[in-house]
Structure 1
Amino acid sequence: MSVGLGPTGRGERAALSSAALSSAAPVARRAWSAVGAFAAIRALGLLALVLWSRANDKDAHALLSARWDSLWYVRVVESGYDFTLTAPDGRVLSDLAFFPLLPWLEQALAAVTPLGPGDAGLLVSAVAGPLAAWALYLTGRHLHGHRAGLLLAAVWAAVPVGIVQSMAYSEALFTALAAWALYAVLRRRWVEAGLLASLAGLTRPVGLAVAAALWAGAVVEARRTRRVDARLLTGAVLAPLGAAGYVLWVGARRGSVFGYLHVQAEWGNGFDGGLAYGKFIVDHLGGWPVVLAGLGMIAGTALALWAYGACVRGGQPLPLLVYTGIVMALALCSSGYFGSKPRLLLPAFPLLLPVAVALSRMRGVGAVGVVGALSVASAVYGATWLNGSGPP
């Protein structure tokens, strides 16, 4: 037995379509407020980076487009998947670790514009960031209303590592694809969700979290309606194809079905349940000033876990909980470079929903003051971070 809107005639269907179009217009107009807030916060972060970089005789443009992972993406554009680098400890690092959608887009833009691959990557992030903010707004609005959606987009822009959203990295692109896919799941647009999930899977390994979220939503929907329609099944099949396709391609090149895992192991990345991360924290509790870093990691991890608990207690839809849980598990329980963990948590935007809801209930200009303070702190931290250790 399926649950629907009941039988409707042609006239009634036309009336429903007209009503949907008329209600979509004010939603789109309101979404621009969230996109504008996101853009303003990111502009503040970029201004702080430019000023800080000048004071340190560094090039802000190079920090955004030509360091760390962004260089690996450029190498993929320039030479294909053929580049390796021998680390000082003898490990051979391969560019096969980097998923292909961002370098594909960089290559396409470089072919039709005067931009080089690095600047094309900046353009991709410049477009993807506002698109992600738009999807975050719609998700927050769908679950908790306009103010929550607006504040979700703003708080995501103002997280401490928000400067990564403006770099030639894949985080902004991935979050945009993941957020739109999850919103499509919440609205039961299964084919659209499956296509977006597949693209997310071509962007980062954690793209499989988006596919898992779609599957969770599909199970909930099938139990609710007691049937599996063709569109739901199509979306569920499409969702993992991007990630699975790339992993299988790497496996074929490496001559092993586990080839991609071997590539990640060469980079020092593996899933160990958080043992290496725990040891890293303990090692930073033994003296001054490294103890501050250890305490900061403990506080940050505890805050992320508390936020996830708040998401569960707040009754977030299962697809969002599944997605966020997998993103957190892969970020916190892997043995990779520990300085990357805050960046790896950046796509876990549902963690910020309880914060956005709490801020939306504040009276007067309290929420504006909180977001403003977060934005300034994020701008200062991002400028300092990129002029220092940065987000490799």
Structure 2
Amino acid sequence: MHVGSVLTGHDTPVNAPEASAPVLRRAWTAVAAFAAVRALGVLVLAVWPRANGAGAHELLSARWDSLWYVRVAESGYDFTLTAPDGRVLSDQAFFPLLPWLERAVGAVSPLGPGDAGLLVSGVAGPLAAWGMYLIGHHLHGHRAGLLLVALWAAVPVGIVQSMAYSEALFVALAAWALYAVARRRWIEAGLLASLAGLTRPVGLAVAAALWAGAAVEARRTRHIGTRMLAGVVLAPLGAAGFILWVGLRRGGPLAYLEVQAEWGNGFDGGLAYAKFIVAHLGGWPVVLAGLGLIVGTALALWAYGVCVRQRQPLPLLVYTGIVVALALCSSGYFGSKPRLLLPAFPLLLPVALALSRVRAARAASVVAALALGSAVYGATWLSGSGPP
């Protein structure tokens, strides 16, 4: 089996050692590292003191967006909620794959939708780690792939990966779709991209990555095969199908944008986000939050610049660029910005590569410190006013 230049950056096809049995077995070290970091996060959350009386199980399965997914799983769409400020919030803002899976799991088990959502995330997280490892291994070897997974599990908002949210499911689909692009498995990549598009609006970033990979391959080979064409066509169908369905239900082709606008979400090039940051630079202690936002945003942009300078393959750059742009340039609940950046895992590749070149003990200590910090931050975050 051969892997083309789509996700290697080279013009000459190379053998695919990552598809071999030894490498697939080594991927379990990355899955185990992911599980260990996430178990630490859940354990710290379980013992963290809370004034509101909510237990770890409730925080992970039955709050904020999780409740919206549960309502869709139980009753379908068309639920609305009038916010205190008069906005009418519709459940049509939430894409359907996670509630569909919650309903399916509930149909074959005694689990309720919330617990089914936890199970979906519990399965999707390791699958995301596995696909992510294969991408990292393919580009930079075993240690880089392992560290990429560990770093992603240990990001400050990593606790979201253990919640009944759609992030773990989406990243699993995105990572495997990107890996399928690397292997020139166009139909598989298209199906996974379509499912990602049924999970979150940013699923279109996965479709765009596939299109970029197909363009690179078509230019290299001067040929567009039927399987490639099928993958290109399949990729956007999930997101487009749901958006069109909302349009039909609400009587307008742009109705989904109206639904998002009712939630206060829109794409304004980052103007609202910039105003939010400036508003947090005027006094103590909110200035700390403002400075933190500036540092976090600068780090994300710097990391993407490093990815470009290191010549990450075009599909990864396209995918990551769209995820970062949608996260930073949209208006909405600004506390969700870190969570919206969670799918941009290729931003961590330069850090993983740098750590892979130092002594194993030093790299392990860095990851351990990050994992502990993530666990404490996640417990503090979920035990506060939220939502993430």
Aligned to 2:340: 344
More off after superposition, 67-76 vs 361-370: 361-370
What TM-score do you get using the length of structure 2 for normalisation? 0.95
Aligned pair in 2 of structure 1 residues 210, 260: CA closer, same or farther (>3 Å)? same
Aligned to 2:326: 330
* Bigger Rg, structure 1 or 2: 1
Match of 1:200 among 196, 203, 209: 196
Residue 95 of structure 1: how far off its partner (Å):
0.1
Distance in 1 separating the partners of 2:322 and 2:47: 37
Identity %: 81
Residue 53 of structure 1: how far off its partner (Å):
4.4
Q: CA RMSD in A?
A: 1.6
1:32 and 2:17 are equivalent in the alignment? no
Match of 1:111 among 85, 107, 110: 107
1:266 and 2:262 are equivalent in the alignment? yes
Aligned to 1:229: 225
Q: Do the aligned partners of 1:208 and 1:240 also contact (CA within 8 Å) in 2?
A: yes
User: What aligned pairs does 1:158-197 form with structure 2 within 5 A after superposition?
Assistant: 158-197=154-193
Distance in 1 separating the partners of 2:182 and 2:19: 18
1:46 and 2:42 are equivalent in the alignment? yes
Q: Do the aligned partners of 2:320 and 2:346 also contact (CA within 8 Å) in 1?
A: yes
User: What aligned pairs does 1:298-313 form with structure 2 within 5 A after superposition?
Assistant: 298-313=294-309
Match of 1:213 among 192, 209, 214: 209
1:284 and 2:280 are equivalent in the alignment? yes
Distance in 1 separating the partners of 2:162 and 2:217: 36
Residue 58 of structure 1: how far off its partner (Å):
2.8
Q: For residues 89-129 of structure 1, what are the alpha-carbon distances to aligned partners after superposition, in whole Å with 9 as ceiling and x for unaligned?
A: 11100000000000000000011100000000000000000
Q: Do the aligned partners of 1:77 and 1:107 also contact (CA within 8 Å) in 2?
A: yes
Q: For residues 256-277 of structure 1, what are the alpha-carbon distances to aligned partners after superposition, in whole Å with 9 as ceiling and x for unaligned?
A: 0001000000000000000000
Aligned to 1:9: none
Residue 391 of structure 1: how far off its partner (Å):
3.2
Aligned to 1:357: 353
SS of the counterpart of 1:85? strand
1:377 and 2:373 are equivalent in the alignment? yes
Moved over 3 A (4+): 19-23, 53-57
Unaligned segments of structure 1, at least 5 residues: 5-18
Q: Do the aligned partners of 1:277 and 1:335 also contact (CA within 8 Å) in 2?
A: yes
Aligned to 2:234: 238
User: What aligned pairs does 1:135-154 form with structure 2 within 5 A after superposition?
Assistant: 135-154=131-150
SS of the counterpart of 1:27? helix
More off after superposition, 191-200 vs 356-365: 356-365
Distance in 1 separating the partners of 2:381 and 2:17: 45
Distance in 2 separating the partners of 1:257 and 1:364: 54
Residue 369 of structure 1: how far off its partner (Å):
0.5
SS of the counterpart of 1:365? helix
Aligned to 1:72: 68
Aligned pair in 2 of structure 1 residues 365, 111: CA closer, same or farther (>3 Å)? same
**Amino acid paired to 2:233:** V
Aligned pair in 2 of structure 1 residues 257, 44: CA closer, same or farther (>3 Å)? same
Q: Do the aligned partners of 2:89 and 2:259 also contact (CA within 8 Å) in 1?
A: yes
Residue 28 of structure 1: how far off its partner (Å):
1.4
**Amino acid paired to 2:37:** I
Q: Do the aligned partners of 1:81 and 1:95 also contact (CA within 8 Å) in 2?
A: yes
**Amino acid paired to 1:371:** V
SS of the counterpart of 2:40? helix
**Amino acid paired to 1:145:** G
More off after superposition, 280-289 vs 23-32: 23-32
Aligned to 1:297: 293
More off after superposition, 360-369 vs 241-250: 360-369
Residue 206 of structure 1: how far off its partner (Å):
0.3
Distance in 2 separating the partners of 1:196 and 1:99: 15
SS of the counterpart of 1:88? coil
**Amino acid paired to 2:114:** G
Aligned to 1:16: none
Unaligned segments of structure 2, at least 5 residues: 5-14
Distance in 2 separating the partners of 1:55 and 1:182: 43
Q: Do the aligned partners of 1:53 and 1:59 also contact (CA within 8 Å) in 2?
A: no
1:391 and 2:387 are equivalent in the alignment? yes
SS of the counterpart of 2:156? coil
1:321 and 2:323 are equivalent in the alignment? no
